[in-house]
């Protein structure tokens, strides 16, 4: 069995990791580290796990686990690794943005591979250190990678994407409490969102001359989980050609599927799937891309990466049911 450790165990992404790993046939949770909850039962925080898991949070770390998931706030993974040294055989998957960009990918002599399986599965399979992609970045990249592969990103790209409240993390803030979020909608970090860097770098891996603007408007939605992204850009080909490009690119993808029917968010919530739909209007191609921000956008993709690193079936532990109704 693969022994797994989780750092930062009280947050949303850690909770999802725990829920998935307890049903993974090849994994045993060795410890869940939380300084604020050490000694408390995990089900005291992740309350749906009552009767399912009797493990307690701990303030102690096993530095010899097979895989370590870092579920810390942005900037805190580096700080944690400065203070704790793990075995050379321990594979590390970081869910923050500390190591996603090329300039940050080497840390303490270790190279972090950007963990988007649809982009670089072979590198992930050989990696010991993974920088798990951001949730918006995953949704948007999966909507654009086939066009980059065909060198067709030759004009500005416009993106409007809405995320659920869990995307802001478990800590309370003015824009996450119920009375503010309910029946409300707002824009934040227009044109400057931190995921733009990793999106541009990934597109550049497939289209070396990519230098176009990504005009990204992120929105806060009044729902708890999921991301709905609408992406549009100039496209000279037919809708049939567009579908051919996308279907060919994702022919072997386990979780990313192309639909000729319009898609909606509930199709993917509580799954590790990304669904994509295309429409053509005059010379403009509209790409709709939807994921669950906590699964394909975070914990599910982390487990998908772990499966690849340990030469397991990508879908192991990720055969989930959508909350369609």
Tens of pLDDT, residues 138-194: 999 999 999 999 999 999 999 999 999 876 565 556 777 777 788 889 999 899 989
Q: Kindly state the DSSP code that residue 49 receives in the 8-state scheme.
A: G
Region label for 102, one of left (φ > 0), alpha (ψ between -120 and 50) or beta (otherwise): alpha
What are the structural domains of the chain?
A: 2-132+298-309 (3.40.50.720), 135-291 (3.30.360.10)
Active-site annotation, residues? 135
Confidence of residue 215 (pLDDT cuts 50, 70, 90): very high
What per-residue confidence (pLDDT) applies to 181?
Answer: 80
Confidence of residue 325 (pLDDT cuts 50, 70, 90): confident
Where is average pLDDT lowest: 74-88, 166-180, 207-221, 304-318? 166-180
Average pLDDT of span 203-212: 95
Average pLDDT of span 180-209: 92
Strand segments (E) across 34-141: 67-70, 91-94, 106-107, 110-111, 113-114, 129-131
Work out the percent of the chain whose per-residue pLDDT is above 70.
98
What per-residue confidence (pLDDT) applies to 170?
Answer: 58
What per-residue confidence (pLDDT) applies to 174?
Answer: 73
> 2-7 and 67-70: which strand pairing?
parallel
Indicate if the pLDDT at residue 73 is higher than 90: no
Indicate if the pLDDT at residue 236 is higher than 80: yes
Average pLDDT of span 232-250: 98
Quote the radius of gyration of the chain (alpha carbons, Å).
19
Q: What is the mean pLDDT of the chain?
A: 95
What per-residue confidence (pLDDT) applies to 180?
Answer: 77
Containing H/E element for 162? strand 157-163
Tokens of 92: 């590390």
What per-residue confidence (pLDDT) applies to 173?
Answer: 67
Average pLDDT of span 228-254: 98
**pLDDT, tens digit (0-9, with 9 covering 90-100), for 275-319:** 999 999 999 999 999 999 999 999 999 999 999 999 999 999 999
What per-residue confidence (pLDDT) applies to 324?
Answer: 80
What per-residue confidence (pLDDT) applies to 74?
Answer: 85
Indicate if the pLDDT at residue 42 is higher than 70: yes
What per-residue confidence (pLDDT) applies to 207?
Answer: 97
Exposure string for 286-309, b = 16+ CB within 10 A, e = fewer:
bbbbbbbbbbbbbbbbbbbbbbbb
């Amino acid at each position: 069995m693969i022994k797994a450790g989780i750092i930062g165990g009280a947050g949303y992404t850690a909770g999802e990791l725990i829920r998935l790993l307890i049903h993974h046939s090849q994994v045993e949770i060795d410890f869940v580290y939380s300084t604020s909850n050490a000694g408390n039962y995990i089900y005291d925080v992740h309350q749906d796990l009552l009767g399912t898991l009797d493990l307690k949070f701990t303030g102690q770390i096993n530095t010899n686990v097979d895989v370590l998931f870092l579920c810390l706030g942005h900037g805190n993974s580096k700080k944690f690794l400065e203070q704790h040294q793990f075995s050379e055989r321990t594979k590390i998957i970081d869910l923050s943005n500390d190591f996603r960009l090329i300039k940050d990918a080497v840390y303490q002599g270790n190279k972090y591979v950007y963990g988007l399986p649809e982009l670089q599965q072979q590198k992930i399979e050989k990696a010991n250190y993974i920088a798990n992609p951001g949730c918006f970045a995953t949704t948007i990249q999966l909507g654009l990678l086939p066009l980059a592969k065909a060198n067709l990103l030759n004009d500005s790209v416009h993106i409007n994407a809405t995320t659920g409240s869990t995307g802001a993390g478990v800590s309370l803030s003015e824009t996450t409490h119920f009375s503010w979020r309910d029946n409300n909608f707002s824009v934040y970090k227009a044109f400057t969102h931190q995921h733009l860097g990793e999106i541009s770098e990934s597109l550049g891996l497939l289209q070396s001359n990519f230098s176009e603007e990504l005009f990204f408007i992120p929105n806060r939605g009044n729902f708890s989980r999921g991301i709905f992204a609408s992406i549009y850009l100039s496209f000279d080909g037919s809708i049939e050609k567009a579908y051919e490009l996308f279907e060919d690119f994702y022919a072997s993808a386990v979780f990313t599927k192309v639909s000729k029917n319009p898609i909606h968010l509930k199709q993917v919530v509580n799954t590790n799937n990304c669904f994509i739909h295309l429409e053509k209007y005059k010379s403009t191609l509209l790409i709709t891309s939807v994921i669950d921000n906590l699964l394909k956008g975070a914990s599910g993709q982390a487990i998908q990466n772990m499966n690849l690193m340990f030469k397991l079936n990508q879908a192991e532990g990720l055969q989930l049911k959508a909350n369609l109704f």
